[in-house]
């Protein structure tokens, strides 16, 4: 079956750096997305990786290793507003998005 795994919850300190991991097993691979979702709101797009390596976008970076079925989202200079759930999603062979359960990130002052 298809499976996306990410930690349920993480805690970090304001101003610090946090890495949220995602491992996947899917039928085919057409890219991996990271989304941010604040409580009670819809997800918003953060990043897309389809080739191995690191993609940097401001305070957020996303890394992909296709051979390992592994990705991470790196958040730097954490701010209180970064408290949210972070969803990993993989586009499978049919271009359908398979979603992880999300990682709830708690930022402490």
List of residues contacting other proteins (CB under 8 A): 4, 8, 30-31, 33, 40-45, 48, 50, 87, 89, 91, 95-97, 99-102, 104
Q: Residue 12 corresponds to which tokens in the numbers above?
A: 């970090």
Taking the CA atoms of 72, 31, 60 and 35 in sequence, report the sign of the dihedral they define. negative
Q: Which is nearer to other proteins, 13 or 93 (CB)?
A: 93
Q: Which is nearer to other proteins, 38 or 108 (CB)?
A: 38
Q: Cβ 43 to other proteins, closest distance in Å?
A: 5
Distant-in-sequence, close-in-space partners of 93: CB < 8 Å, separation ≥ 6: 26, 27, 28, 29, 30
């Amino acid at each position: 079956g298809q499976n996306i795994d990410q930690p349920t919850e993480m805690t970090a300190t304001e101003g610090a750096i946090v890495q949220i991991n995602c491992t996947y097993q899917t039928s085919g691979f057409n890219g991996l997305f990271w989304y941010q979702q604040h409580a009670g709101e819809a997800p918003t797009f953060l990043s897309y990786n389809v080739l191995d390596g690191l993609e940097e976008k401001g305070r957020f970076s996303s890394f992909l290793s296709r051979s390992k079925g592994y990705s991470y989202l790196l958040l730097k200079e954490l701010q209180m507003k970064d408290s949210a759930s972070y969803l990993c999603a993989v586009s499978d062979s049919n271009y359908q998005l398979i979603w992880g359960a999300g990682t709830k990130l708690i930022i402490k002052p």
